[in-house]
Amino acid sequence: MVIARNLDRVFAGGLAALEALNFEIARGAFVAIVGPSGCGKSTLLRIVAGLLEPTGGELVVKRNADAAGREAVPAFVFQDPTLLPWRRVDGNTSLPLELQRLPRAEIRQRVADALQLVGLEHYAHLFPRQLSGGMRMRASIARALVTSPELLLMDEPFAALDEISRQHLNEEILSLWRRNRWTCLFVTHSVHEAVFLSQRVLVMSPRPGRIVADIDVPFDYPRHHELRTAQEFSLIAAEISASLR
């Protein structure tokens, strides 16, 4: 689904953000990317999304087209919910479909489905300011899922939430992924979050970002809260932490 070969990104002024990245991500996989601040995790995600161009190497993102010939657009969940304050929850959720000029009836149906997926169907008429932090993030996830993406890119989406909300949303995102099986690239600072969510963790070095470890997470799904206290879980988390040093 996503293949990077010797991928480089140098910013204007000569600042090297990424250097010689090589990885392959299979369709339907859940892969976490961890690394220290400024190591280029977000830059990598933006390159995969097509928002930035690599300055060297090659990146291939295989996209399928729908019946109308439209190529699937990757969906992006940002660190902040970045909802439009003047739009209600349903209006925020419908935004990507409006931009893609889908028929109104289809938009209405897909928005209702997406809000139901994230448990916000009874809050569609509220403005973002009337929601809690966790609900805002769910609305942001609904906005990403409404396009039925093949590829979901998440850039530290739960970093600003309290630990309880974060763990709840971790479990919800896994449940959504198991039902829909989009390919997911999940950037996080939290080693425990990466291990709990993903099948595989890519560990990046400080700038310029390189992949210093590619660690499999062998736990079966569904994963429950108890996994976080299992010994094997701690061992993998320790291995990732050691790679980060």
Binding residues for another protein (CB under 8 A): 46, 49-51, 73-76, 78, 80, 82, 84-86, 95-96, 98-100, 127, 129-130, 147
Identify which of 29, 20, 44 has the alpha carbon closest to the alpha carbon of residue 201. Answer: 29
Minimum CB separation of residue 141 from another protein in Å reads: 13
Minimum CB separation of residue 236 from another protein in Å reads: 31
Minimum CB separation of residue 41 from another protein in Å reads: 15
Task: For another protein, give the closer residue by CB, 66 or 86.
Answer: 86
Minimum CB separation of residue 218 from another protein in Å reads: 33
Task: For another protein, give the closer residue by CB, 187 or 201.
Answer: 187
> How far apart, in whole angstroms, are the C-alpha atoms of residue 96 and residue 104?
12
Residues 34, 188: contact at Cβ < 8 Å? yes
Partnered with residue 209 across adjacent β-strands are 18
Task: For another protein, give the closer residue by CB, 20 or 73.
Answer: 73
Task: For another protein, give the closer residue by CB, 78 or 219.
Answer: 78
